[in-house]
Each structure stands twice: as C-alpha cells, then as structure tokens.
Structure 1
Amino acid sequence: MSNTEQLTHGGFSTSLAIDGDAIAGPWCTPLQMLAEQSYDNHASIHDDATAQKLGFRGGTIEGPTHFSQFVPLGVSAWGERFLESGCISAHYRNAVFEGEEVRAFMARPAQGNGHTEIWMQKKDGTEVLRGTLSLAGDTAPTALDRRLTSLAPTGPLVILRDIRVGMRSRRHRVRMDLDQNMGALYPFSLTQKLTKITQSSSWYSPREGTSSPSSSPWGRPIIPMEMISVLLNYTAKLDPFPVRGPVVGLFADQEIRLINGPLFVGEDYEIEREIVAVSESKRTESMWVRTSVYHPGSNDIIASMLLNGASLKESFVEPGS
C-alpha cells in the first residue's frame, strides 16, 4: 500500500493503508474464545477435536469476530453515522484458525455513496469473506440481499425437515452488561472480549477507572458490532426452532444492520427471530434467521441480524441408526 493514515475517529487508533480505490486495515490475529462453547450437550465447530473429525484443521475462529476489523473502515468512510446506522453483510468463504493473520479491505466509496464492497484475506491470499458495508437508507442491495435472491429451491431436507419459512419465536428480553457471562454459547463477558478484540475503541468501554460514563458521543459505552451477534444469539436455545440433532453447525452468511443505533451496554432490548429462507449445499442444510431488535414495548426495529446457520450433514446421525 502506498500511503498510510491514522484513524483517530470513533474512539479508534487504527492505521489504514490507502492505495488508489482500496483501503486496508492492519494485519490482525483473531483469538479463539469459543473453545469451551457447547450447545445441545455437545462441543461445537470451535472445539479442535470436533472440528478435526469434520475435516477442519482445528477449531475455527467464529465469523463475526472478523467484523471488528471492518468497523474502523466504515468509520473512516462515514464517521460516527456508521456506528448508528451501519451495516456489515458478508458471505464467509474460508475458515480462520488461531495464529493466522488476516486483513480487512474496503473499496473506497464514491463521494456521497452509502455503499461499498469489502473483503478479507489471509497472508497467502486466501479469501476469508466477501461482502458489503453500507448505511441504513442506502438503496443498493447488500451482499446478503443478493445471496437471498439467488437461492435455489431445496430438495427433501433431513436435518431441517420440520422447518418452515415464516416460523417465529416469541419476544425475549436481552441485555449485555460489561461483566455478564453470555452463557454456554458464548462463555465469556464483554470485558473479557475487549481484552482480545482485534480492533478496540474507547467508545466500547467506560472511562478508565470508572463504571461510567463513556468517552463516546452518547455518554455510555456501545456494544461492538461483533458482540451484537452474541447478544442476538443469547436466547436462541430458550425458544429453539425444530432443527433435528445433535448436529454441528457453522455460520455461512451473516449481516448485522443498525437502523437507529447504536446498541448500548447495560440497556434492555427485546428480540424476535423469524425464519426467512432455507437452502442447502452438497455438505450443509441451512436455516436463514432474521433477528429483529426493539426497545421494550415498541414495534420499531432499531437493529437486525440475518444469519445463515449451516448444519453439517456429515455430523448428523439419524436417531436409532
């Protein structure tokens, strides 16, 4: 890259490399925090032994971990608006393993444009993900808008045979406090995550030595984009959809969209989940779930997440077989 600038907005101190129409963040080494994750009483794809049985080199780094490397790029393009109404939409293409370095890239958006393309690479050029950054209100389709419109009809499904598009969960109350353990799916707290996050912002934490306020413009700490994924999956097992199992799954596509944000640490929200599509590949059956976020008692959506949870066919054993 031919030129380097220091981003100091948004509470970040991040070096951005600029070369023509591309902007890149620094090389980062994401850390594994889900080795102890469990669901349905079994280990997950982030456990080395489980992942290796399924043909992976080891436990994979969870996809939304990579979103933190794109947030400074969004802030460099659109300022704090990206933290209030930004969207990261991505198709995960290759797994990352602990110890590997990855770098986030963004095509420089045209003046006045609220939409651009993004991608992430390993040092050997392997593409980790590809997608879009955008602002709420931009009319261009996001990466997952495009993915949804291209889905082919499925054949008979086995793992998802009881799933129907339009199924909805009940509303659940959720919150994320700084030192709250986020449960079996995410056995760590926000405070612990902030010691390992790839790109940290002072806007994610209270002022040093105090519980509040934050240095953020909103006077309180905001939830990092990758931790919004944790918050919105927090109650998934309280009101589960009828996926047959046990089965090992992974994230194949994910979009986190802020509409009237940011989301704040220590604030109550309500979430509701809906199945919006099903799909399959040679190796997976996929359930696309959109989670909507509300202020308690309101019907106005303030944020959302679209997640393609792909179940690995080879990990499923028919009951009784």
Structure 2
Amino acid sequence: MSTAFPQMPAATLCGPLRQPRQMLAEQTYDGHLSIHDDKMAEDLGLRAGPIEGPTHFSQFDPLLFQLFGQAWFETGCISAHYQNMVVEGEEVRAYVTPPAAGERVARIHAEKRDGTPVLTGTASVGDVPDTDHEIPRRIAKLRPATTLVINRDLRVGQRGAAKETIAMGFDQHMGDHYPFTLAAKLKVITEPSPWYTPEGGAASPWGRAIIPIEMISVLLGSTSHLSGLRGRGPAVGLFAGQQIRLVRGPLFVGQAYDLEREVVALSESARTESIWVRTQVFEAGTRTLAAEMILNGATLKNSYARYDAEARELGFTQ
C-alpha cells in the first residue's frame, strides 16, 4: 500500500509556502464571466481575479492526514471562513493547531507570506457535532435578513428543484462553471498524492483513485445551476465560507452520486447578500450519505445592475 503524502516531522503543523494556481479565469454563468476573470474583478474594485477558496484546502491535507491518519479521507470535516482573496503568484501557507486535551476539533488557518490572513476555521474526523465547526457556528450567529433584494425570492428550507446525479472522470469537462478537468487540476495541485491518480489509485487503501477534497467543491458545484437555488441576476458572486464533511468517504473518481440541496440560511452585509446551501451527497440510487457541503455564496450588490432601483421599489431605501 502506498502513502498519501511524504511523512513530515511529528512536530510540524505548518506546511510550506505554495503558489496556488488560478483555474477559473474562463468560468462563466448568467452569460458572463465570473469574478475570477481579471477584467471582471477589476471592474468590481479588485486588483485581479481571485483563486477559488477551496483550492487552499489541499494545503491542509498533508497536515490533517498526519494528524488524523486515513480517517481524514473517510470522515474528515474541514470548515472555513474565507477572509482575504489570493491571486495567482501570491504565496500561501497552511497551519493546523491540534485539538487540546479532551477535545476533538483542530483549529486551522492560512496566511500569505506577509501574514495577511486567507482563511480561518476548524477540522476534525469522526462523529463530531456540526455545531463544533466554523460554518455552523457562524450561521447560528446570523441576524435575520430583512432587506434582501437579489435573494428575495429564496426561503430558508427551500429545496433544490431538480434531481442531480453527477460523477467526475479524469478527463471529464465539468461545465461552464468549472472549465477544466480533474487531470488538468492534478498537474498543478499544490499537494499531489498518488492516491488521486489513475496509476496510484489502485494502491490506495480503498483500491481506487479518490477525488481530492478541494475537487469535491467542483464536483458539487458543477450542476448547482440545476437546483434553482439562485438569486436574481445577472450578478457576480464569490465563496465567502465553506464546509466539506465526509461521512462515508472518500469520494471516488468515476463513481456516480445523487445530490440534494437545501437553503439553510440567508444573510446580508453592507456589500453582499448571501445564500447558505447544504448539499448532501448520496451514493447513486441509494440513501447512503457519503458527504455533504455547506456553501456561503455571497453576491456583490454592486454587480446587480437593478439593485438600487429594486431596493427603492421594495421600500428599502429613500
């Protein structure tokens, strides 16, 4: 049996500086380019198109595998609030603080070379209450959203409109939302593992190639447009926070999964409106829960052309 990553000294709970790659420059939705396009990002006041948040999850995998072992890929949970955007060429380092005595949840964070925070959150394995993790804790603290414009047609508890069955092959194009393949990602992933590959997957503990945890976000996001759980548009959004939890993992390359989605929260800030969606992943044709994701998708108010006019119509501004 092979090992997932090279062994690091036992006391090491920070990884090397890495330069994650931008894979979404050609991403499109609502008929336009996304925030990951440099020109679109600049038009919205950003200096360049940011790298997608879950890309950074790969930098935690060697640390969490060392901390938790094989269970990390079977029942691991990573829960992160994204703090500052990263653009291609910037260097990022991941840190893990192991659970204190008597506790089961590790703290995680990532920062740029200059110390700028990138994300903060939690990680664990096994049957740990969801409420011990970063994203559910943030949801619990949300104030009721009372002046929604973009997301005013959505409701907490609303479920996806369509049945979604998905799979991810090595050379499978994942659609307009994710215009690249798993094979392309594996050429640039910050932390390569033989367990992710066609050649090395057979020597994994499960005898098959597994989907990297960061690519679970791609797998689940590739058909999200079918759910109908979207606000008004066209508008531009970004990931503000995300949790991926494996229940009966890992997820496998080429295996089919059924998805069910539900809105678990709606929120707003001065600049954004957010929808928080829980996506459950079942082994296709069964009710066997394999994984789930909670995603905070934040839409920039100033990217929706009719925001001010509709806010006035709804009586939210004078």
TM-aligned CA distance change 1:196 to 1:269, over 3 Å: same
Deviations along 1:236-280, one digit per CA (max 9) or x if unpaired, are: 112322410000000001000001110000101101111000001
Residue in 2 that maps onto 1:13: 6
Amino acid in structure 1 at the alignment position of 2:157:
G
**Contact preservation (8 Å) 1:14, 1:26:** no
Residues 1-321 of structure 1: pairs in structure 2 closer than 5 A: 10-13=3-6, 15=8, 18=11, 23-110=13-100, 113-139=103-129, 141-169=132-160, 170-207=162-199, 214-318=202-306
After superposition, the Cα gap between the structure-2 partners of 1:15 and 1:56, relative to the gap in structure 1 and judged at 3 Å, is farther
Give the drift of 1:214: 2.2
Return the TM-score normalized by structure 1. Answer: 0.91
Q: After TM superposition, give the deviation of residue 17 of structure 1 in Å.
A: 8.3
Query: In structure 2, how many angstroms separate the alpha carbons of the residues matched to 1:123 and 1:166?
Result: 41
The 8 Å contact of residues 106 and 123 in structure 2, kept in 1 or not, is answered as yes
Aligned equivalents of 1:16, 1:121: Cα separation in 2: 21
Q: TM-score, normalised by structure 2?
A: 0.92
Is 2:150–2:307's contact at 8 Å kept on the other side of the alignment? no
Q: Which amino acid aligns with 2:169?
A: D
Shift in CA distance, 114/206, structure 1 to aligned 2, threshold 3 Å: farther
| Superposition CA RMSD, Å | 1.9
Q: Which has the higher helix share?
A: 2
Q: 2:313 — aligned with what? A: none
* Unpaired segments ≥5 residues, structure 2: 310-318
Q: Can you list the C-alpha shifts for 1:183-233, whole angstroms capped at 9, x where unaligned?
A: 10101110000001011111001226xxxx522111110000010000001
Contact 1:293 1:302 in 2 (8 A): yes
User: Residues 25 and 310 (structure 1 numbering): CA distance in 2 closer, same or farther, change over 3 Å?
Assistant: same
Q: Report how many aligned residue pairs link the two structures.
A: 307
C-alpha displacement at 1:155, in angstroms?
2.1
Task: Report the Cα distance in structure 1 between the residues aligned to 2:106 and 2:247, rounded to whole angstroms.
Answer: 17
Query: How high is the sequence identity, in percent, across the aligned residues?
Result: 52
- CA distance in structure 2 between the aligned counterparts of 1:308 and 1:258, rounded to whole angstroms: 18
User: Is the contact between residue 7 and residue 66 of structure 2 (CA under 8 Å) also seen in structure 1?
Assistant: no
Mapped contact 2:2–2:203 kept (Cα < 8 A): no
More moved, 306-315 vs 143-152: 143-152
Q: Which has the higher strand share?
A: 1
- Alignment-mate amino acid for residue 48 of structure 1: D
Residues 61 and 14 of structure 1: CA distance in aligned 2, closer, same or farther (over 3 Å): farther
> What SS class does the counterpart of residue 178 from structure 2 fall into?
coil
